[in-house]
Structure 1
Amino acid sequence: MGFDQRFTIGLIAWIVALVAVLLACIAAFATPGLGAARIVALAIVAATFAGLWRHITRTNRTVARFLEALKFGDTAFQFDAKGGAGFDELGGALNEVLARFRADQDRIAGELRYLDALVDDMPVAVLTVDAAGHVTLANKAARRLFTSEHGKLPEDFAVYGATFARRLANDSQQEELLILTIAGRPQRMLVRTATLERLGQRTRAISVQPIQGTLDAVEMAAQTDLVRVLTHEILNSLTPVTSLAATAADLLGDPDLSADPRVGDARVAVETLARRAQGLSNFIEAYRAVAQTPQIKRQGFAACPWIDELARIFATKAFEVPLRVAIIPETLALDADPDLLAQVVINLMQNAAQAMQATEQPQLTLRLTGDRHSVAIEIEDNGPGVPEGLRQDVFLPFFTTRATGTGVGLNLARQIVIAHGGTIDVTDAPDGGALFRIVL
């Protein structure tokens, strides 16, 4: 039997009871000498009327409490599942509705927490601009990327680049490749914009994806392929030349031909050709190392003992150059290939020592700073520095400014750093000289 039928039966029962007690009350007043009975009859009439009123209004009160619970989100409220007249069924039904509503709320809250965590932990930096033009760093990647002092308005982000600040201010939906100054270094970023509706207001979401490392890796792969092809083709052509020149030199060295002075001149020329061809072959073989992609074997290690070992190695090679070491914090740890990274740092320190040969008071600084997100390795000298026009060329294969240089060291260093997913560049040191910075 449903709630409406049981409620109706109860209502009829209360009405019948009220009619009965009213008749009894009328009979008591009509009969002389029943003063006490009249009082009792009136009390019974009042109690019966109160019961009928309570029965009629109980549904309204129950529904009102249910709506109030929904209004304030109080899904933990429980209705009385007792009382008869169908109110036990009504209370149970309302409790079930609230339980389902509470389950939906928990599911939606879980989805929102998941989406918040997804946005917060995604590797691409996300910024939001509300209808009032206020900029918010929406996730961890954005907070790690934009660490310089800035406000909440688009123009406050001009410290990273005027073009980027204009992009935050306008409604452009175009995908752009911008150069932003991050941690004092220009980096190429891919910037995208999407427009969303949030709580009836228009909001723009701007994603900023660093692609400098990807572009560096592509560039290094192209250089590696080019060097591999060139050395292969040159060696293929040079090998028969070297062999034929050596054979011709042996044939011209026959004593029976020594009487003719022209043969002697030819023999000298061919021997010279053979030596130069062999030397060129050896030279190209040496440069084939540039075409070999470094194999990184990552491991975690403490910075202090690793740096101490590098300092001892450097002291044996350039003892005349004082080395200053700084590690901040002292507990700093690295996640890299210690051997390959040591090769890079030692090479940079040796280059700095050679650059300071004409400096009266040479000073070399090896500095490590960082946290669990990134580590910066800086090699700073007080030599003549690197001219701004050559700062990109010095990392190209075979490019060198020294007469005895090979042009391999810095290119190989860049390959190793990029294989680690890092970057390497050179700027002016604060006190003059060159500052090579590796960021992992």
Structure 2
Amino acid sequence: MRLAARVLLLLVALSVASLLAAYHRAPTAMLLAIGLALVVTIGLWRLISESNAELTRFVAALDRADLSQSFTLSGRGAGFDRLGAAYERALARLREERTRGAVAATFASALADGAPTPLLVLGPGDALTLANKAARRQFGRNSPTVVAALDQYGEAFVDLLRSATPGPSRLGQIVVDGLSQRVVTDTTLIELDGDARRIVAVKIIQAELDSAELAAQIDLVRVLTHEIMNSLTPVTSLAATAKQLLDALDATDHQAIGDAQLAVGALARRAGELERFVETYKGFSEAPILRREPIDIADWLTRTAAIHAATPNITMPITLDIMPALPRLNGDVALLTQVLLNLLKNASEATAATQTPTIALTAELKPHDRIRIAVTDNGPGIPPHLSREVFLPFFTTKPRGSGIGLSFARQIVLLHGGQIEAGNGLPSRIEMVLPTIIE
């Protein structure tokens, strides 16, 4: 209405001025009409400028992403009211979309940051970003920013990351706390700012593999011992009965009777030995219940070394190298002591034939609040191809070994949430890594 009134008034003023000028009459009135036309033109210009100013302010707010502006233009005509209302609706919609986007981004960020699997962002080039808390806990000790900085986790792991491509999960090796472990990676390819980036999920699955393998071994031993005992029990009983019957006869009456007595006696003894052997493995097939308690590592290792030194026929000293101020272990001290005594016994037997036998027991704190305990000796060592087989049930390299000591040790360490590994080459070394109590 304001615009229409001004346009109409301008037309009237111009028309009057034109008529008066055409007939050369009333010059004063003509000047007044021209003046009125100028005033109306200035009013029109101001009206259009106001509208342009509001439009400019709206576009500037969008350009700066400033959604806090207000465009309530009441009192200046219906056109300005509608214009302001349209601007307000547009900004309200943008505010709502921004809020939804911020909530979605916050949720996605929290979801990724709280994921238990480490996420690495690779690219552009060799650049590396630790994308969540799990990645920073696992790889953030030296704040690596390039893939090459992860060489402490093994060359095989670095090569696995560099060759990561979208597709099926890939299995590889990673060195953590000095122990080689199996790792699986999954890769997603994204494009950001025109550069390709790879999001690699890294999951160390050694604990799951060890648990599954141990469960399979226990099931196998349980089945074997059950079946062997079912077959061996009647053999033992019949052998004992046959021996009693033959012992009641006079061996001097016939030479064959004496030979039979010797054979049946040997059979009865061997059946008894097999029965005791199977009974031993029955204990392995039943996982012990842990009675956890805080363990002072220095005191525990010192006492265990003293117990080993007091064992008959043990003469070689043990060198203790224990890092000071270690946190306490959370474990079953009786079972862990038995594990350590088995390892020290094996080391003593391995070095018995050496001229100057040496055994070292070391303990040190590793990253992620884990304790590394190692038994090292100068014996012949474990061949590299047997470094994993020595922990299997029934497997032994000793002429009279039962093949249960290291199997038992591995079972106890895994139950504590740790790992155990035999070192390759010389000096001979078996080390275990156990979680501590976070203090």
Give the drift of 1:241: 0.7
Partner of 1:85: 77
- Does the CA-based 8 Å contact 2:304-2:340 persist in structure 1? no
Partner of 1:11: 3
For residue 425 of structure 1, give the secondary structure of its aligned residue in structure 2: strand
For residue 188 of structure 2, give the secondary structure of its aligned residue in structure 1: strand
Instruction: Indicate which of 363, 374, 383 corresponds to 2:378.
Output: 383
- Does the CA-based 8 Å contact 2:3-2:44 persist in structure 1? yes
Give the drift of 1:115: 2.0
Partner of 2:159: 165
Partner of 2:64: 72
Paired with 1:427 and 1:259, the residues of 2 have a C-alpha distance of: 60
Q: Deviations over 1:243-293 (max 9, x none)?
A: 1111122223336x5662443443343233223212220121011122223
Superposition RMSD on alpha carbons, in Å? 4.1
TM-score, reference length from structure 1: 0.77
Q: Show the 5 A alignment for 1:261-340.
A: 261-262=254-255, 263-295=257-289, 302=294, 305=296, 307-319=298-310, 321-322=317-318, 324=320, 326-327=322-323, 330=326, 332-334=327-329, 340=335
Between 109-118 and 313-322, report the one with greater CA deviation.
313-322
Q: Show the 5 A alignment for 1:107-146.
A: 107-130=100-123, 132=125, 134-146=127-139
For residue 205 of structure 1, give the secondary structure of its aligned residue in structure 2: strand
- Does the CA-based 8 Å contact 2:308-2:344 persist in structure 1? no
Give the drift of 1:173: 4.3
Q: Deviations over 1:296-339 (max 9, x none)?
A: 56x6x655x25424532442332563453534663x35455555
Residues 1:409 and 1:198: Cα distance change in structure 2 (over 3 Å): same
Paired with 1:347 and 1:102, the residues of 2 have a C-alpha distance of: 69
**1:178 paired to 2:172:** yes
Paired with 2:333 and 2:88, the residues of 1 have a C-alpha distance of: 64
Give the drift of 1:51: 4.2
- Does the CA-based 8 Å contact 2:382-2:428 persist in structure 1? no
Paired with 1:116 and 1:333, the residues of 2 have a C-alpha distance of: 35
Partner of 1:237: 231
Q: Deviations over 1:163-220 (max 9, x none)?
A: 8527625757454322344444333222333332334433333333323233322322
Paired with 1:279 and 1:98, the residues of 2 have a C-alpha distance of: 89
For residue 80 of structure 1, give the secondary structure of its aligned residue in structure 2: coil
Partner of 1:419: 415
Partner of 2:389: 393
Between 140-149 and 377-386, report the one with greater CA deviation.
140-149
Paired with 2:219 and 2:90, the residues of 1 have a C-alpha distance of: 68
Residues 1:426 and 1:147: Cα distance change in structure 2 (over 3 Å): farther
Alignment: residue pair count: 419
Partner of 1:188: 182
**1:436 paired to 2:431:** yes
Give the drift of 1:345: 3.7
Between 260-269 and 59-68, report the one with greater CA deviation.
260-269
Partner of 2:214: 220
Give the drift of 1:15: 4.2
Residues 1:402 and 1:196: Cα distance change in structure 2 (over 3 Å): same
Give the drift of 1:362: 4.0
Residues 1:102 and 1:385: Cα distance change in structure 2 (over 3 Å): farther
Partner of 2:88: 95
Percent of residue pairs identical:
34
User: Any gaps of 5 or more consecutive residues in structure 1?
Assistant: 1-8
Paired with 1:105 and 1:339, the residues of 2 have a C-alpha distance of: 60
- Does the CA-based 8 Å contact 1:130-1:202 persist in structure 2? yes
Q: Deviations over 1:144-168 (max 9, x none)?
A: 5456989766667666325852762
For residue 194 of structure 1, give the secondary structure of its aligned residue in structure 2: strand
Give the drift of 1:425: 0.6
Residues 1:179 and 1:361: Cα distance change in structure 2 (over 3 Å): closer
Paired with 2:335 and 2:97, the residues of 1 have a C-alpha distance of: 55
